Amino acid sequence: GQQLNQSPQSMFIQEGEDVSMNCTSSSIFNTWLWYKQDPGEGPVLLIALYKAGELTSNGRLTAQFGITRKDSFLNISASIPSDVGIYFCAAPFGGTYKYIFGTGTRLKVLA
Protein backbone atom coordinates (compact mmCIF):
# COMPACT_ATOMS: atom_id res chain seq x y z
CA GLY A 1 0.00 0.00 0.00
CA GLN A 2 0.96 3.63 -0.06
CA GLN A 3 3.41 4.68 2.57
CA LEU A 4 5.76 7.47 3.50
CA ASN A 5 9.31 6.46 4.26
CA GLN A 6 11.35 8.71 6.47
CA SER A 7 15.10 8.87 6.66
CA PRO A 8 17.03 8.62 8.85
CA GLN A 9 15.08 6.47 11.33
CA SER A 10 16.99 8.04 14.19
CA MET A 11 19.88 10.37 14.74
CA PHE A 12 22.05 11.67 17.52
CA ILE A 13 23.43 15.14 17.04
CA GLN A 14 25.35 17.66 19.07
CA GLU A 15 23.59 20.77 20.29
CA GLY A 16 24.10 23.57 17.81
CA GLU A 17 24.33 21.30 14.77
CA ASP A 18 21.99 21.47 11.83
CA VAL A 19 19.69 18.54 11.11
CA SER A 20 18.22 17.28 7.86
CA MET A 21 15.60 14.61 7.35
CA ASN A 22 13.41 13.58 4.49
CA CYS A 23 10.21 11.85 3.61
CA THR A 24 9.71 9.96 0.37
CA SER A 25 6.95 8.08 -1.36
CA SER A 26 6.22 6.40 -4.65
CA SER A 27 2.97 8.38 -4.81
CA ILE A 28 2.32 12.01 -5.63
CA PHE A 29 0.84 14.29 -2.98
CA ASN A 30 -0.60 17.78 -3.03
CA THR A 31 0.08 18.57 0.60
CA TRP A 32 2.88 17.75 3.00
CA LEU A 33 2.66 18.26 6.74
CA TRP A 34 5.46 18.00 9.26
CA TYR A 35 4.73 17.16 12.89
CA LYS A 36 6.77 16.74 16.05
CA GLN A 37 5.70 14.35 18.75
CA ASP A 38 7.00 14.36 22.29
CA PRO A 39 6.64 11.20 24.42
CA GLY A 40 3.07 10.63 25.60
CA GLU A 41 1.70 13.60 23.70
CA GLY A 42 -0.11 14.26 20.46
CA PRO A 43 1.67 15.34 17.27
CA VAL A 44 2.17 19.08 17.00
CA LEU A 45 2.02 20.66 13.58
CA LEU A 46 5.27 22.36 12.58
CA ILE A 47 4.94 23.27 8.92
CA ALA A 48 2.42 22.75 6.11
CA LEU A 49 3.36 22.76 2.43
CA TYR A 50 0.90 23.07 -0.44
CA LYS A 51 2.87 23.65 -3.62
CA ALA A 52 5.64 21.76 -5.38
CA GLY A 53 8.96 23.51 -4.81
CA GLU A 54 7.57 25.53 -1.90
CA LEU A 55 10.05 26.38 0.83
CA THR A 56 8.56 27.40 4.17
CA SER A 57 10.20 28.35 7.45
CA ASN A 58 8.99 28.34 11.02
CA GLY A 59 11.71 29.74 13.24
CA ARG A 60 14.71 27.42 13.03
CA LEU A 61 12.73 24.93 10.96
CA THR A 62 12.61 24.95 7.18
CA ALA A 63 10.68 22.49 5.06
CA GLN A 64 10.50 21.99 1.34
CA PHE A 65 7.91 20.40 -0.91
CA GLY A 66 9.86 18.36 -3.46
CA ILE A 67 9.53 19.24 -7.14
CA THR A 68 8.46 15.72 -8.02
CA ARG A 69 5.70 15.95 -5.36
CA LYS A 70 6.89 12.59 -4.08
CA ASP A 71 9.10 13.88 -1.29
CA SER A 72 9.61 16.55 1.30
CA PHE A 73 12.51 17.69 3.47
CA LEU A 74 12.78 19.17 6.92
CA ASN A 75 15.81 21.03 8.21
CA ILE A 76 16.44 22.22 11.74
CA SER A 77 19.18 24.76 12.22
CA ALA A 78 21.25 25.19 15.37
CA SER A 79 19.55 22.36 17.25
CA ILE A 80 18.77 22.71 20.94
CA PRO A 81 17.93 20.05 23.54
CA SER A 82 14.17 20.66 23.29
CA ASP A 83 14.28 19.59 19.63
CA VAL A 84 14.38 16.02 20.92
CA GLY A 85 11.39 14.02 19.78
CA ILE A 86 9.97 12.14 16.84
CA TYR A 87 9.36 14.00 13.61
CA PHE A 88 6.64 12.72 11.31
CA CYS A 89 5.70 13.73 7.82
CA ALA A 90 2.09 13.28 6.79
CA ALA A 91 0.10 13.68 3.61
CA PRO A 92 -3.48 13.23 2.43
CA PHE A 93 -4.14 11.11 -0.61
CA GLY A 94 -5.22 13.37 -3.41
CA GLY A 95 -8.96 13.60 -3.56
CA THR A 96 -9.46 11.77 -0.29
CA TYR A 97 -9.64 12.65 3.36
CA LYS A 98 -7.29 9.85 4.30
CA TYR A 99 -4.00 11.00 5.78
CA ILE A 100 -1.01 8.77 6.13
CA PHE A 101 1.92 9.32 8.41
CA GLY A 102 5.54 8.55 7.79
CA THR A 103 7.62 6.09 9.73
CA GLY A 104 9.16 8.88 11.80
CA THR A 105 12.63 10.21 12.52
CA ARG A 106 13.67 10.07 16.15
CA LEU A 107 15.97 12.94 17.03
CA LYS A 108 18.22 13.00 20.06
CA VAL A 109 20.27 16.05 20.85
CA LEU A 110 23.40 15.76 22.96
CA ALA A 111 24.09 18.81 25.03
Partner 1 sequence: EPEVTQTPSHQVTQMGQEVILRCVPISNHLYFYWYRQILGQKVEFLVSFYNNEISEKSEIFDDQFSVERPDGSNFTLKIRSTKLEDSAMYFCASSRDRGNEQFFGPGTRLTVL
Strand, coil or helix: what is 30? coil
Does the protein bind partner 1 through residue 102 (CB under 8 A)? yes
101 scored as a contact of partner 1 (CB under 8 A): yes
Among 26, 42, 82, 111, binds partner 1 (CB under 8 A): 42
31 binds partner 1 (CB under 8 A): yes
Cβ pair 86, 37 in contact under 8 A: yes
Q: Cis (ω within 30 of 0) for the bond into 39?
A: no
Residues numbered 7 to 26 that lie near partner 1 (CB under 8 A) are none
Number of residues that bind partner 1 (CB under 8 A): 24
Site for partner 1 in 49-88 (CB under 8 A): 88
Q: Which stretch binds partner 1 (CB under 8 A): 13-21, 36-44, 52-60, 76-84?
A: 36-44
Please spell the DSSP secondary structure of 35-100, one letter per residue: EEE-TTS--EEEEEE-STT-EEEETTEEEEE-TTSSEEEEEE-S--GGG-EEEEEEEEPTTSS-EE
Binding site for partner 1 (CB under 8 A): 30-31, 33, 35, 37, 40-45, 48, 88, 90, 92, 96-104
